[in-house]
Amino acid sequence: MAENGPGTPWKRRSVLFEHSPFKRHSHSPFRLDHFGSLFERAEEWGLREVRPYPAYRHTYRHIYPFSDSALANLAYSFTYTYAQPQPMADYPEPLAKAIDDWKRSASRAHLVQVEEGEQLLLFDHRNLLRPEQITALDGMHRQALLACAEIRHSAELQYLLERQLSRSLTTGEVAETVRPLLAEGWLVREGDCLLSATVPSLRSRAGTLRGAPSF
């Protein structure tokens, strides 16, 4: 829908959805596909009346004499209802608001890095409600963040740091090194893999560094 953009209040979107032709087949914002965990464990997740999407019935039942069970085997997407009523117009509101705020601020917010000699300078202005935060990283903190410019397994990161330092490291030392980087959101983790959230800057910003805290 054309009005369903970042400037559209969530309550207005709910009204648009209520009057849209999609409502009668869209019981939830979550898509239910064959072979997915939500489909395989539908009852466990509180889903009821799982049926092939109506398009399958209109397509196949009018051409081939397929039974409901045969249609269910052919279908990939399904509709469903809930065992317990769900406040569909209310519970996604905080997420929708956060997404709208992010879209409005995306062109002004930034998290960039600048290499200045032995220091890695971070300019963090992701939160537009506070002044830009400037931090200088050195030593292993700097090396770890630079090494994670691409996805690194924690064991690979340890190997790279050991090569740069020319000494052995324990897993505890590596974990302690990345801990503050993760806490500040400069580094992100998924399982045992790490990736820098910073973006390299194309120009030096050293002139703004007076009093920059360092790690």
pLDDT digits (tens, 9 = 90+) for 149-199: 999 999 999 999 999 999 999 999 999 999 999 999 999 999 999 999 999
157 inside domain:
yes
Q: What is the pLDDT of residue 193?
A: 97
Same domain, 48 and 115: no
The pLDDT of residue 1 is above 80: no
Q: What is the pLDDT of residue 111?
A: 94
Q: What is the mean pLDDT of residues 119-135?
A: 90
55 inside domain:
yes
Same domain, 202 and 116: yes
Same domain, 75 and 151: no
Same domain, 200 and 119: yes
2-11, 102-111, 162-171: lowest mean pLDDT where? 2-11
Same domain, 115 and 204: yes
Distances (CA, A) of 63 to 52, 60, 69, 75: 16, 5, 16, 15
The pLDDT of residue 204 is above 60: no
Q: What is the pLDDT of residue 140?
A: 96
117 inside domain:
yes
Cβ contact 13:92 at 8 Å? no
The pLDDT of residue 4 is above 60: no
Please state, in angstroms and rounded to a whole number, the distance separating the CA atoms of residues 153 and 192. 6
Same domain, 122 and 76: no
Domain containing 168 equals 111-208
Q: What is the pLDDT of residue 93?
A: 82
Give the count of domains, the chain: 2
Q: What is the pLDDT of residue 187?
A: 97
The pLDDT of residue 16 is above 50: no
Domain boundary among 38, 67, 82: 82
Average pLDDT of the chain is 80
Same domain, 173 and 119: yes
54 inside domain:
yes
The pLDDT of residue 117 is above 70: yes
Same domain, 117 and 196: yes
For residue 179, the domain's CATH number is 1.10.10.10
8 inside domain:
no
Q: What is the pLDDT of residue 70?
A: 85
DSSP string, the chain: -TT-STTS-HHHHHHHHHTSTTGGG-S-SS-EETTSHHHHTTTTTTEEEEEE-HHHIIIIITTS---HHHHHHH-SEEEEEESS---TTTTTHHHHHHHHHHHHHTTT--EEEEEETTEEEEEE---TTSPPEEEEE-HHHHHHHHHTTS-EEHHHHHHHHHHHHTS---HHHHHHHHHHHHHTTSEEEETTEEEE--EE-SS--GGG-TT--B-
Same domain, 147 and 184: yes
6 inside domain:
no
Whether the model clears a pTM of 0.85, i.e. scores above it, the answer is no
